[in-house]
Amino acid sequence: MVFTLELSRTAQKALNKLPANAVKRIWAHLEEIKNDPYRPRPLADIVPVEGSDITYRLRIGRLRVEYEVHENNDSIKISKIFRKKRSSDYR
């Protein structure tokens, strides 16, 4: 099953502020998770976010992509894209 990607306004704004090479890397990883948004693999370092059954975190170097998987309509909503600075970034 292939999921469709939806960007939140917050995620779109974050993408617009990043350099072109970072955006290209993020899109390569997002294309990879469209087929299986749950399983970690070489191009997809995926970890479930504590406290939520549908929210996951994708690590791309120091960048993090937080997304929600909605199986009822086969979509992945990208909620946040940010640069990790410390452990409190997920609160």
pLDDT (tens digit per residue) in 53-67: 999 999 998 999 999
What predicted TM-score, i.e. pTM, was given to this entire model? 0.87
Q: Which tokens in the block code for residue 35?
A: 């087929």
Q: What is the mean pLDDT of residues 36-42?
A: 90
Q: How far apart are CA 24 and CA 18, in angstroms?
A: 10
Q: What is the average pLDDT score of the chain?
A: 91
Q: Is the pLDDT of residue 11 over 90?
A: yes
Per residue in 14-38, pLDDT (tens digit) is 999 999 999 999 999 999 999 999 9
Which sequence spans correspond to the domains of the chain? Answer: 4-83
Instruction: Count Cβ atoms within 10 A of the Cβ of residue 12 and give its class: 0-12 exposed, 13-18 middle, 19 or more buried.
Output: exposed
Choosing among 3.90.550.10, 3.30.2310.20, 3.10.20.30, 2.60.40.1080, the CATH entry for 4-83 is: 3.30.2310.20
